[in-house]
């Protein structure tokens, strides 16, 4: 059974949970459409949803969801955030982390980079996440999946998927 406590914590004591590191690393390369501080008032207000974090001890926290303020270009060590401290051994942390990445892709990514990032996301997501994509589209093709989930035409999807594959294969 999970226990939940609401509290305010400093970003100084927050790190990314080990099971969420791949998902977090993916989001460090995202280009967001709006400036990093545009929603500061809403993000820190009482009406916004609290972060979901996993308590390691009383001083350090492993974030597995809602880590946008921890991204390098957004991080302000002195910020206090209202969080939900979640303690449960039964939580599928990796899946929750990838759901958050999908939400970021869906809501606030820069238009010119979204198709490339969508191809990257589908390619590196855990197998259980990829199988969910394939069940809906009945396809294994990265291009078909990107077209389906972006509603873009074939040409820009093909160009971005090709660009992604070329860069991936160079690494």
Q: Which CATH number do you get for residue 21?
A: 3.90.1530
DSSP 82: E
The reply to whether 99 falls in a domain is no
Three-state secondary-structure class, residue 63: strand
Task: Please name which of 10, 122, 24 lies closest in space to residue 65, comparing C-alpha atoms.
Answer: 24
Highest mean pLDDT among 59-63, 75-79, 149-153: 149-153
The reply to whether 103 falls in a domain is no
Tokens of 96: 């929750």
pLDDT at 85: 75
DSSP 101: H
The reply to whether 79 falls in a domain is yes
Q: What is the pLDDT of residues 88-140, one digit of tens each?
A: 666 678 888 888 888 888 776 677 788 898 899 999 989 888 888 888 888 88
Tokens of 125: 């997501």
- Domains held by the chain: number: 2
Tokens of 149: 């989930």
Query: For the chain, what is the mean pLDDT?
Result: 77
């Amino acid at each position: 059974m999970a226990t939940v406590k609401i509290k305010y914590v400093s970003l100084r004591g927050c790190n990314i949970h080990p099971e969420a590191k791949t998902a977090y690393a993916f989001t460090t390369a995202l280009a967001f459409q709006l400036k990093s501080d545009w929603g500061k008032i809403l993000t820190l207000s009482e009406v916004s949803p609290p972060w979901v974090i996993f308590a390691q001890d009383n001083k350090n926290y492993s974030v597995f969801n809602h880590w946008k303020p921890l991204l390098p270009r957004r991080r302000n060590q002195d910020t206090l955030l209202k969080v939900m401290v979640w303690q449960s051994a039964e939580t599928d942390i990796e899946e929750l982390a990838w759901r958050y990445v999908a939400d970021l892709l869906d809501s606030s990514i820069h238009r010119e980079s979204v198709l490339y990032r969508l191809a990257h996301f589908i390619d590196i997501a855990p197998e259980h996440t990829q199988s969910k994509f394939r069940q809906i589209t009945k396809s294994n093709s990265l291009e078909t999946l990107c077209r389906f989930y972006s509603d873009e035409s074939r040409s820009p999807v093909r160009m971005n998927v090709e660009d992604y594959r070329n860069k991936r294969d160079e690494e």
